[in-house]
């Protein structure tokens, strides 16, 4: 079965998606019986569209050579918005434009436009979820459409899959996590003697930093993620602004050294819990012992711990491979696409 | 919607299931729109059956007072096998009889009988999977029936949910885990100065030891689990006898102390990997550093690490709550029941 994807945004994640479709496209066809095709890709300068599917490698070449996919042989400079969605005729919108926590645009308009056109949605960009979570889910549910977003909450960490599938029937009391790779990398680098600026630069080179680093270091990215997970697992309707937020700018080398001498480490922890007054969430630097599931993590590793009844504390952590952050996030977009296709009955039964 | 469960086996797990149905039954009805009813429960001496559903508390009382559910007011001494399945008229068989790795009986006959009667199956007992994995899956698949078994592979560890949902589309190269709580408890206790026998007794008191402790300490239980996970994630057809197996009887207090002095710990590790020659699996004691995702675990904690491309190493670990092992395993049986009901479209859409 052919599944047409419309992709908005062709930065780290979008390019990672093209790379992975080139690498794994044949495997997925063989393993799951689905051919994933990019029928449209939009970036700031325009778009490329082809109902037969755009060749991923030539998209990457157009981007590298001309800075935009609209320079592709199937490119249309200036093509955007509704016109783009109409022409791409996709089954699924993959929204991966850069995150904007002010008005979530242009992502929010793309998402709403996709739902109006009966497309399912897979999100890599957090804005729409951090500002309009419940509205979005209710809109999709009313139309019988799916919205998947596991790429937005600390991409490779299987937070949502664990909450949804492994903890169904259990009580989730609270959860906490290291959900932002950049600040974790900066804190680890500073603990090892690097400066704050060097740490930020390393994270940028690893492809894990947001385009605007203040979104990372001031805790906005972690706040968005904790709100999204809390909305998902607690049925809450938190917005990013509802999360108490302290970033890492105030963490000093002396504090990091002191923690280390006590056998602990300072981590930017994001936490949410159910209380009698409702769901509360915060982000702030905290000390954690080294035998804590989060305290042992280093560098760009991430993780989450769910505190549950009766199963206890369930932790999931990721020590990333050497691949770039864009590839890793793109893989989690593909996982959402494949799960969505499976739940819709589009895939062949498979064993893996 | 009423969902009738037939339960075979009323030991730790079966009694835990009755306890949890009493505790959470109303919650599940409200949250998922399903009423889970025990329409039949069988133990060695007979069974109790009621299509309207057996009261969980009175089943626990009958077991405690008379040693068998057949003493219940709906009890039928000597009722077993096909007659039991015919009378319970269940949607789902929950197979939780004690594990037997010789011929997997009586579980295997119950499972085959349930499939013949168009029942889905949820397994808490490992025998059928450790001896007949592929045959069982093919039999169920041919009939359009589901077999769920997440309770059998280190119950609260979300191994199968991560492999199935979070790693769909990724390459799983290998995995390793601490999958047996009893041996982990024994090794931890010995590291802290207890004797081997004291460690085994502690595990029995915690309700995590197999009825026959040699299944734990000689690595049979871990071998069954690694075979089942390998079959599931690699599409293999390993039997328990295909797993190279060394238990913990040979681990000395001196070795444990030596490891500890080096900042490491000895764990009974179970591992499987894809090789050019096929899928191989083993169980054996190994040293792990304390900042390893498995090395940091203590007591009856368990965990698994998937080595994947491109997402890196994904670890899931569980630090259990104080509840007994039977309750914990029973909760994972209920999770399988609820996921199965959801995939069948029996539940109401929910938000968790």
Dig out the tokens for B263 from the structure.
């900042």
| Predicted local distance difference test score (pLDDT) of residue B350 | 54
pLDDT exceeds 60 at position A112: yes
Catalytic site residue from A63, A126, A225, A267: A225
Instruction: Report the residue from B141, B162, B313 with minimal CB separation from A319.
Output: B313
Is A311 in contact with B293 (Cβ distance < 8 A)? Answer: no
- Encode A11-26: b = buried (16+ Cβ within 10 Å), e = exposed: bbbbbbbbbbbeebbe
DSSP 8-state assignment for residue A321: -
From the list B291, B309, B342, the residue facing A290 with the nearest CB is B291
Average pLDDT, chain A: 94
Q: Predicted ipTM?
A: 0.96
Predicted local confidence at residue A275, as pLDDT: 93
Mean pLDDT of A182-198: 91
Closest Cα of chain B to A241: distance in Å?
22
Could A312 and B328 be called an inter-chain contact, meaning their C-beta atoms sit closer than 8 Å? yes
User: Is residue A49 helix, strand or coil?
Assistant: strand
Q: How far is A327 from chain B (nearest CA, A)?
A: 7
Q: Which of B63, B118, B126, B225 is catalytic?
A: B225
The secondary structure element, H or E, covering residue B239 is none
The per-residue pLDDT for A324 is 78
How far apart are alpha carbons A194 and A190 in whole angstroms? 5
Helices A107-116 and A127-142 cross at an angle (nearest 10°) of 10
Sheet harboring A75-77: ordered strands across?
A: A75-77, A46-49, A35-43, A2-8, A92-95, A120-123, A147-148
Distance from CA of A156 to the nearest CA of B (A): 6
pLDDT digits (tens, 9 = 90+) for A6-56: 999 999 999 999 999 999 999 999 999 999 999 999 999 999 999 999 999
Contact with chain B for residue A345, Cβ under 8 A: no
Task: Tell me which chain B residue has its CA closest to the CA of residue A316.
Answer: B316
Nearest Cα of chain A lies from the Cα of B265 at a distance, in angstroms, of 13
pLDDT at residue A349 in the model: 67
Residue B235: phi and psi, rounded to 5, are 60, 30
* Mean pLDDT score, A119-134: 97
Evaluate if residue A351 carries a pLDDT over 60: no
Mean predicted confidence (pLDDT) in A167-175? 97
Nearest to B170 by CA among A351, A331, A317: A331
Angle between helices B107-116 and B81-88 (to 10 degrees): 40
d(CA B217, CA B226): 15
Cα-based torsion angle of the residue sequence B79, B80, B83, B84 in order, rounded to the nearest 10 degrees: 90
Residue A312 contacts B, CB cutoff 8 Å = yes
Closest residue to B166, CB basis, from A311, A319, A335: A335
| Residue A126 annotated to the active site | no
CA closest to B156 among chain A residues: A311
Cβ–Cβ contact A287 with B under 8 A: no
C-alpha radius of gyration, chain B, whole number: 20
- At residue B291, the pLDDT reads 83
pLDDT computed for residue B349 by the predictor: 67
- Ordered alpha helix ranges (H), chain B: 12-32, 56-66, 81-88, 107-116, 127-142, 159-161, 181-191, 196-205, 214-217, 220-234, 253-261, 325-343
Name the residue among B335, B352, B33, B348 with its Cα closest to residue A234: B352
Interchain contact, B321 vs A327, CB within 8 Å: no
- B310, A321: Cβ pair inside 8 Å? yes
Mean pLDDT of A152-170: 95
Q: How confident is the model over A275-293, as pLDDT tens digits?
A: 999 999 999 999 999 889 9
Closest CA–CA distance from residue A179 to any residue of chain B (Å) = 14
Question: What three-state secondary structure class fits A46?
Answer: strand
pLDDT at B75: 98
Is-contact B267 B178, C-beta < 8 A?
yes
Please list every residue in chain B whose beta carbon sits closer than 8 Å to the beta carbon of residue A233: 352
Is B338 in contact with A169 (Cβ distance < 8 A)? yes
Q: How do strand B75-77 and strand B92-95 relate by DSSP bridges?
A: unpaired
> Under an 8 A CB cutoff, do B311 and A290 touch?
no
User: What 3-state class would DSSP assign to A135?
Assistant: helix
pLDDT at A294: 95
A310–B328 CB contact, under 8 Å: yes
CA of B45 vs chain A CAs: smallest distance (Å): 30
Whether residues A168 and B141 touch (CB distance < 8 A) is answered with: no
Closest Cα in chain B to A169: B335
d(CA B336, CA A214): 43
* A50 HSE (CA, 13 A, CB side): 16
Nearest to B161 among A166, A235, A338 (CB): A166
Distance CA A181, CA A298 (A): 10
Q: Which of A175, A150, A162 is nearest to A269 (CA)?
A: A175
Strand partners, A272: A175, A281
Residues 216-275 of B with CB under 8 A from A: 233-235
Which residues in A lie closer than 8 A to residue B338 (C-beta atoms)? 168-169
Nearest chain B alpha carbon to A304? B316
Q: Which of A30, A166, A325, A348 to mutate to test the interface with B (most CBs of B within 10 A)?
A: A166
Chain B environment of A312 (Cβ under 8 Å): 156, 318-321, 323, 328
Q: What is the 3-state secondary structure (H, E, C) of A60-97?
A: HHHHHHHCCHHHCCCEEECCCHHHHHHHHCCCEEEECC
pLDDT in tens, chain B (352 residues): 999 999 999 999 999 999 999 999 999 999 999 999 999 999 999 999 999 999 999 999 999 999 999 999 999 999 999 999 999 999 999 999 988 999 999 999 999 999 999 999 999 999 999 999 999 999 999 999 999 999 999 889 999 999 999 999 999 999 999 999 999 999 999 999 999 889 888 888 887 787 778 899 999 999 999 999 999 999 999 999 999 999 999 999 999 999 999 999 999 999 999 999 999 999 999 999 988 999 989 888 999 999 999 999 999 999 988 787 889 999 999 999 999 999 999 998 654 4
Cα–Cα distance for residue pair B74/B183, rounded to 1 Å: 39
Which residue of A lies nearest to B300 if distances are taken between CA atoms? A312
pLDDT of residue A352: 43
Nearest CB among A20, A165, A338 relative to B161 is that of: A165
* Contact map slice: B 192-221 vs A, CB within 8 A: none
Residues 315-344 of A with CB under 8 A from B: 315-321, 323, 327-328, 331-332, 334-335, 337-339, 342
**B298, B321, B339 ranked by CB distance to A310: nearest:** B321
A141 closest CB neighbour out of B308, B335, B349:
B349
Cβ separation A312–B320 shorter than 8 A: yes
């Amino acid at each position: 079965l052919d599944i047409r994807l419309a992709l908005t945004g062709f930065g780290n994640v979008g390019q990672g998606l093209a790379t992975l479709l080139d690498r794994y496209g044949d495997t997925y066809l063989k393993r799951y019986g689905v051919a994933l095709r990019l029928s449209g890709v939009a970036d700031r300068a325009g778009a490329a569209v082809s109902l037969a599917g755009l060749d991923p490698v030539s998209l990457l070449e157009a981007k590298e050579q001309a800075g935009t996919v609209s320079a592709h042989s199937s490119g249309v400079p200036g093509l955007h918005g509704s016109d783009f969605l109409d022409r791409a005729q996709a089954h699924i919108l993959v929204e991966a434009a850069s995150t904007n926590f002010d008005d979530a645009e242009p992502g929010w308009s793309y998402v709403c436009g996709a739902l109006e056109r009966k497309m399912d949605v897979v999100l890599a960009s957090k804005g729409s979820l951090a500002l309009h979570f419940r509205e979005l889910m209710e809109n999709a549910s009313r139309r019988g459409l799916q919205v998947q977003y596991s790429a937005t909450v600390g991409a490779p960490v299987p937070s949502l899959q664990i909450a949804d599938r492994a903890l169904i029937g259990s009580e989730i009391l609270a959860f906490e996590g290291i959900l932002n790779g950049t600040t974790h990398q900066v804190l680890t680098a500073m603990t090892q003697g690097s400066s704050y600026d060097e740490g930020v630069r390393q994270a940028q080179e690893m492809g894990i930093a947001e385009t605007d680093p203040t979104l990372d270091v001031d805790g906005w990215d972690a706040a968005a993620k904790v709100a999204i997970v809390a909305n998902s697992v607690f049925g809450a309707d938190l917005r990013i602004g509802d999360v108490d937020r302290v970033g890492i700018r105030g963490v000093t080398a002396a504090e990091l050294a002191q923690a280390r001498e006590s056998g602990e480490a300072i981590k930017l922890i994001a936490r949410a819990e159910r209380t009698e007054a409702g769901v509360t969430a915060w982000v702030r630097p905290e000390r954690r012992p080294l035998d804590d599931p989060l305290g042992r993590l280093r560098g760009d590793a991430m993780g989450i711990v769910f505190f549950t009844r009766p199963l206890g504390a369930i932790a999931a952590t990721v020590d990333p491979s050497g691949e770039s952050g864009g590839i890793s996030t793109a893989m989690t977009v593909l996982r959402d696409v494949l799960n969505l296709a499976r739940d819709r009955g589009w895939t062949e039964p498979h064993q893996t």
